[in-house]
Structure 1
Amino acid sequence: MSSQGRPRLLRRVTTWVGLAMMLAGVVMLGYVGWQFWGTNWTSQRAQKEVTTTLRTQWEGGGKQLRPAFVPKGRASALIRIPKFGDDYVVPVLEGITDEVLAKGYGHFEDNADPGEKGNYALAAHRVTHGEPLRRMPELRPGDEVVVETVEATYTYVLDTDPRRLVIPFTGVWVLDRLPKNPEAGGPQPAQKQGQRLITLTTCAELFNTDDRMISFGHLVRTDPKPA
């Protein structure tokens, strides 16, 4: 290759490399945009559809609609958190798969059902996929979490400040029937057997999913629905 051809080839290679890097940047921005805006749009739409379908099913009643009989991946309850506004209604689905958490809250398998003795443990996204618990850090002891099922409405009151309990994702003690904090003096439910508890879990940071933010509460009221 002549000395004149080498600079021309070098410029051509440099141009193509630059274009490839620009394309990669556009693809990356598109992916990030989809995660932070696209998934929210699709998940919020899915949450509304699941909520509407569940309410329609409840109108017919039936034992099979009780949370204990609802199969994995299906909706079993609706969550309201008055602190988040009057229009805040998010479905609870059985299990904690990615597909479940894209549609609302996930109910951990083998935990108590709403109103039962034990620990009704729930997880939800704080960022992307509808962001049901984006405002989790705003919750305080005394705030209500209202859980509606086909048979009754259960009102829980939070006992712990979520900002005070951030744990690694391996901290499964929070899912125990009566969670006991391994850190002496750390936030935990009152250590009394036979309680009807609720546990909310979500990502502690907006851009990192390694840690979990936790809040515990207990049942204060049960309002059965008319037969």
Structure 2
Amino acid sequence: MSTTTQPQRRGRRSVFWAGIALVLAGLAILGYVAWEFYGTTYVSKQHQQDATSRIEKAWGSGQTEVSTEFGSAQALIEIPRFGKDYRIPVLAGTSDRALGAGFGHFDGTAAPGEVGNFALAGHRITHGEPLRDLPKLRQGDKIRVLTREKTYVYALISDGDDLTVPFTSIWVTDPLPDNPERGGVEPVQQKGQRLITLTTCAELFHTDNRMIAFGKLVSEEPTT
């Protein structure tokens, strides 16, 4: 055997195993992407259903405060434009755990039906994606917020895709959101209003911008 044959074979083996490593790395990346886009949504939808079922059972037995493994549950959200089966739980706070099972209620903002701003966050893609279709909402569309005793009906005062802001724009969760951009989208600047704010990612893929929709309370009725 020539002295040059062995180094050539070792070189081929190195190339072969390097190729195998690249293929495995590629499969791992594809698996991660598939999990993020499909796996997390499947799991989160199960969590949403579990939390919703627990809330409904607790209300049926007379409980107002409902504890779940995803956090304290406060309400259920129905958006008729998203279909008659759309019912998503609202959980206290905006932790990953809360947002992975429904809407997160920003700490320090108003409760359902209260004067001020009932501000909610929800994923637009992955993790159940409750606000994937936010851009389809139009001014006047209804958002029904169910609590044990009352259902609060809000009507949007802006289209779902009318306002996009940086994630640092915390004014959108203020009791009376006041857009610093003159002439920008905002609620009527009148104190004492009962508002709702929906926030989600502005793009389907990673973005630091947020899409915002505002609504105001138009009616309330007993929860049946």
The corresponding residue for 1:212 is: 210
Deviation per CA, 1:38-77, whole angstroms, max 9, x where unpaired?
1111111111111011000001224545xxx999822110
Of 111, 124, 130, 1:126 maps to 124
TM-score normalized with structure 1 length: 0.94
- CA 1:129–1:71: 2 relative to 1, 3 Å: closer
The unaligned stretches of length 5 or more in structure 1 are none
- CA 1:63–1:4: 2 relative to 1, 3 Å: closer
C-alpha distance in structure 1 between counterparts of 2:123 and 2:17, whole Å: 40
Report whether the alignment pairs 1:32 with 2:30: no
Q: How do residues 65-84 of structure 1 correspond to structure 2 at under 5 angstroms?
A: 73-84=71-82
C-alpha distance in structure 1 between counterparts of 2:65 and 2:52, whole Å: 17
Deviation per CA, 1:159-205, whole angstroms, max 9, x where unpaired?
01232211111111101010000111010001000000000000000
Q: How do residues 5-44 of structure 1 correspond to structure 2 at under 5 angstroms?
A: 5-44=6-45
- SS of the equivalent of 1:33 reads helix
Q: Find runs of 4+ consecutive structure 1 residues off by over 6 angstroms.
A: 69-72
- CA 1:74–1:64: 2 relative to 1, 3 Å: closer
Report whether the alignment pairs 1:154 with 2:152: yes
C-alpha distance in structure 2 between counterparts of 1:63 and 1:86, whole Å: 24
Percentage of identical aligned residues? 51
Of 90, 93, 118, 2:91 maps to 93
C-alpha distance in structure 1 between counterparts of 2:113 and 2:73, whole Å: 17
Cα shift at 1:99: 0.6
C-alpha distance in structure 1 between counterparts of 2:178 and 2:68, whole Å: 29
The unaligned stretches of length 5 or more in structure 2 are none
- CA 1:174–1:9: 2 relative to 1, 3 Å: same
Deviation per CA, 1:89-130, whole angstroms, max 9, x where unpaired?
010100100011010000000100000000000000000011
**Is contact 1:70-1:94 (8 Å) kept?**
no
- CA 1:224–1:188: 2 relative to 1, 3 Å: same
C-alpha distance in structure 1 between counterparts of 2:159 and 2:65, whole Å: 36
**Is contact 2:142-2:155 (8 Å) kept?**
yes
The corresponding residue for 1:108 is: 106
TM-score normalized with structure 2 length: 0.95
